[in-house]
Each structure stands twice: as structure tokens, then as C-alpha cells.
Chains A and B, each alone.
Chain A
């Protein structure tokens, strides 16, 4: 699958992306690969603004017709903003996972945590390996 994962951001092993806004916050969402596996996202449970999250702990829930999946926070911190548009248009995640389909903005507790995430190239290799294993 010819997925292009933008190289302006970092990626988690659980298929989230984090874009460093340079102001102590990151914007996060799920990757194109993740939305492709889920297909037809019909519901997103967003966190409350102000909620405290830990790195790689659940911050949101996305549901397709068939399945329920946790979305993990790529960093520890406070939820600063959520993408309310997803309440009425959860399909934005399918249509534009790296843009209009963003899920939340998080104020980082510990910016050094970003080092535990992957660059786009490494993430692309990881999902290709996962796909090979499935065959």
C-alpha cells in the first residue's frame, strides 16, 4: 500500500501521530494506516479538555461499524483542545487522517518523551513489516 506518512511529525507503535507545534503542545491523531484498518469510522469518543493523560495511555476511542479501538496519547500532558468536528463528522478521520481528522492538542509535560516516537521513515518500515507478517 502506497501510504505517504508526512515527515513533519512523529509516530507511535500504536499508529498515532504527533505534530510538534513548537509552543509546548502537540497535535495528535491516528495514522492513515490505522484508519485504513478500521474503515468506516462512525463514532469518536473525545476526552474532556483539561484531562491529564500519560504517554501511551488511552486518550480517545474510535469505533468503526464492527470494532471499538482505543487511541493512545503519544505524550504525557493535559488535553488542551479537542476536534469537536469529529462529533458530527467522524468520517473526517478516514478522509483526512493527517489534517481535518486530527483528534486532540496536548500540552506536553515532558517534551523529551518525543524521543520515544518514530520518524516517518521508521514508521513506514514498521507497517510494511506488519503487512508482510500477515501474509
Chain B
């Protein structure tokens, strides 16, 4: 089992540890609901060291990524990031990832934890196959540590600790700076639906960054937050989770990644996706909320008029919304908000209705 550089700190904080894709990760320190609420109302600090970072650089890096990634990277400026997916020849989602442009022809790709090795192998194979000899692909995952600070107070906690200005840093922009002499890359982004920052540093001293933020945030209500609340926060905000809501059997058009798939350019899988766009998808990922009592979970079957029509991909009790919510694949004819569906929960059928995503939207200040 792999451990992040912060593992000993989680144990000292009393975290409950679970196996997450081969990593020993904190699922909760106190309770999921308490950590969820702290992030919505104040701030939460997350160990994200398990996620992967892959650098793609050198002559031809841009041209290479235009073929690998669904997103059009044309016009991306240094210091900005973009969300994208990689797809197979069949258009299936290999991973969803963020692409940081550090400088001309130097990209940092941030991947999910469980998919990093697969992503790396895929990229190396494509590089060789397509003859991008000037492109260098480097796995930085062990060298880089990552912590996220998320929530309405995250800016107030972070800003005084950072040498450079993060106040004017826009969403999906990043800077390279220092936190108390420790070099870091800070982006304004996250996976919770709140204002917040993702912070990358050397794995060797990411622990000091964690300690500094935890101490600085204590009197503003910042709590360390485990994967349990990370999941409820992302689901309320309508973010998908790779492996739960999509995988290689799913195309970006079937989930909510049509907008990151630029079908005006050619990339691996784009032919199939163009065809799918013309013919229409056969299943579509939608949000739902339960009308009857009960919580729908991953894998539960969806019914309409007595026939099985789909499957739940994510489901939970949403602490801020105060309802049981989830995402499910349904036929496109049932995707309109307000449509009622039935979900089989153990031996019973429970009513739910399709609703728009996200389930929760923060008030912009």
C-alpha cells in the first residue's frame, strides 16, 4: 500500500484510513458532515499527494497534446490551466485531467491517482507511435506533493502566507511563488464548488506547507478534510469522479464532458465522437434527487414504467442540500429535469426525479 508524505500527520490527527486505489488515505478525521460543513462555511485542507503529475515538454509538446487531449489547447496562456479528457480510439474516457501550461511547450498534466500509470503508458505509446521524438514525458508524481485549501475562508488563510499576490489570481490561473520560503505552484481551482486553491510543492517539504496552513487556518474554522467529504462536496457541486461516473466504456458526450471535447480538431477518438454527436448518444448522465426516502448508491438500477433503463453512478446524502442526490445514466428521452424515475434500493422501488447539475451552487461575493 502506498502512503503520501502526510500519512503520519493523518494518524496523529486521528484520521480513519481507507484503501483508495492502492493508497492509504484519510477518509475522515472527525465526521464527513462536520468536514463537509467546515469546507462550505469556512475552509478545508485536503491531502491530494496521491494524484499524479506528468510533465510533457520539449519541441512538439503542444502538437502532441493536441492529438492526445480532447480539449483544444490553442490560445492557452502561460499561467493558466484547462480541464480535458483523454479518449481511446473508440472514444472512451481514459482519464479526466487538468493541463497546466508552465511555459511554451512545457505542460504539467494532473491525473487521477488510480489512473496515473495507465495515462503515462498511453502517452508514451502514442508519442512513439506518432514519432514525437522531441517530446519528453516525465512522471513527476513521486517528487511532487499536493494539498488543496478550499472554502470561503481559504483566500484569507492563504494570502498572508504567500509571497506573491493571490487575491487577483483568477479562477483556473496559477502562479509559481513561495509559502514561507518553500517553493510552490498555486492555482485557483478545486473540486468542491467553493473558492479555493490547489498547491503543489516538493514532496519532501509538502508537510511543512500542510502544517503552516493548518495552524494559520485554525482560528478561521479550517479543518483537515478526508476523502469522505471530498466525495460529498464534489457530488453536490456536480463534479464527476473517474471510475464511478465514467470510465473507458463511456464517452465524454455521454457524461458532462461534451464541452471539453473539441470536435473541430482531430484527436484520438474524435472520429467516433463526431459520429456519436451526429447519431445522438444512447445514454446520458443526469442528476437526480430522491422523492421517496432512501439513498441511491453506485450500481443501483434505474427503472421507468417497470423496465430497467439505467444505472446510478454516484449517490449520497448531500449535507448542504439536505437531500439524497446522485447521478445516473438514463436514455436521452428521460434526461429532462422533472422527469420521474424509479430506483431499486435493496428490495424496494423508490421514486426520484431528474434535476439539473450542479445540485449546489455557492453564492458569488
Give me the interface of A with B, judged by CB distance under 8 Å.
Answer: 39-40, 42-43, 45, 61, 63-66, 68, 87
Measured CB to CB, the nearest residue on chain B to A66 is B228
Stretch at the interface among B66-74, B83-91, B262-270, B290-298: B290-298
Q: Are A42 and B317 in contact (CB under 8 A)?
A: yes
CA distance A39 to B231 in the complex (A): 16
| Among B32, B33, B346, contact of A61 (Cβ-Cβ < 8 Å) | B346
- Contacting A at CB under 8 A, from B18-52, are 27-28, 31-33
Against A, the Cβ 8 Å flags (1 = close, 0 = not) of B275-307 are: 000000000000000000111010000000000
Chain B residues with Cβ under 8 A from A42's Cβ?
33, 295, 317
| Among B31, B316, B346, contact of A39 (Cβ-Cβ < 8 Å) | B31
| Interface check B258, CB cutoff 8 A | no
Interface of B is mostly: mixed
Chain B residues with Cβ under 8 A from A61's Cβ?
346
Q: List 12 A-B contacts (CB under 8 A).
A: A39-B28, A40-B31, A40-B32, A42-B33, A43-B317, A43-B324, A45-B294, A45-B346, A63-B317, A65-B32, A66-B32, A66-B316
Interface of A is mostly: strand
Chain B residues with Cβ under 8 A from A65's Cβ?
32-33, 228, 232, 316-317, 319
Q: What is the interface residue range for chain B against chain A?
A: 10 to 19
| Chain A CB within 10 A, most for which of B27, B294, B295 | B295
- A68 with B297, Cβ < 8 A, contacts A43-B317, A43-B324 known: yes
Closest-CB distance, A103 to chain B (whole angstroms): 16
Chain A residues with Cβ under 8 A from B319's Cβ?
65
- Contacting A at CB under 8 A, from B306-352, are 316-317, 319, 324, 346
Chain A residues with Cβ under 8 A from B27's Cβ?
66
| Among A39, A63, A87, contact of B295 (Cβ-Cβ < 8 Å) | A63
Extra contacts, 7 of them, besides A39-B32, A42-B295, A65-B319 (Cβ < 8 A), are A42-B317, A43-B324, A64-B32, A65-B32, A66-B27, A66-B228, A87-B293
Q: Are B295 and A43 in contact (CB under 8 A)?
A: yes
Closest-CB distance, A44 to chain B (whole angstroms): 9
Closest-CB distance, B199 to chain A (whole angstroms): 26
CA distance A87 to B294 in the complex (A): 10
Measured CB to CB, the nearest residue on chain A to B318 is A65
